[in-house]
Amino acid sequence: MDADRKTPIPGTYFSINFGETKRSVIIEKSEVKLRYGQYGATDKRKPNSLCINSSALKGPDLWIDDTIQLCVFMTGRLVRELRKAKLDKLFEPVPCVIDN
């Protein structure tokens, strides 16, 4: 909506909610470093540097793990849909290892 909160703005817009939190990263199987009491990926752009518990793939397709700094996680099915909509470049998705 426009500033008056009544007038629609023309065009197509998307909204994403980053509110879901899941403990999904398996720290001992991931390349992480501890800083200021929280883990962070050693290289967020390196494929397969983080190991995710397979149970995280159930439920919401987009989440944050509160033990890892500055990482947003999404399921493969969400990444596929973002690619179809040509929106994946906004997120620069990087594959993770899925632990069974």
What 30-36 contacts at long range (C-beta under 8 Å, 24+ apart), as own/partner pairs, is 32/68, 35/69
How many domains, in total, are found in the chain?
Answer: 1
Q: How far apart are CA 73 and CA 49, in angstroms?
A: 13
Per-residue pLDDT tens over the stretch 60-90: 999 999 888 888 999 999 999 999 988 888 8
The pTM assigned to this predicted structure is 0.79
| Average pLDDT taken over every residue of the chain | 89
Phi and psi (nearest 5°) for 49?
-85, -15
On whether residue 15 sits in a domain, the answer given is no
In a domain, 9, yes or no: no
Position 70 scores a pLDDT of: 85
Q: Which domain holds residue 32?
A: 27-99
- Could you tell me if residue 4 is inside a domain? no
For the stretch 10-50, pLDDT in tens is 888 777 778 899 999 999 999 998 887 778 888 878 899 99
Query: Does a structural domain hold residue 19?
Result: no
Q: Hey, what amino acid is at 68? A: I
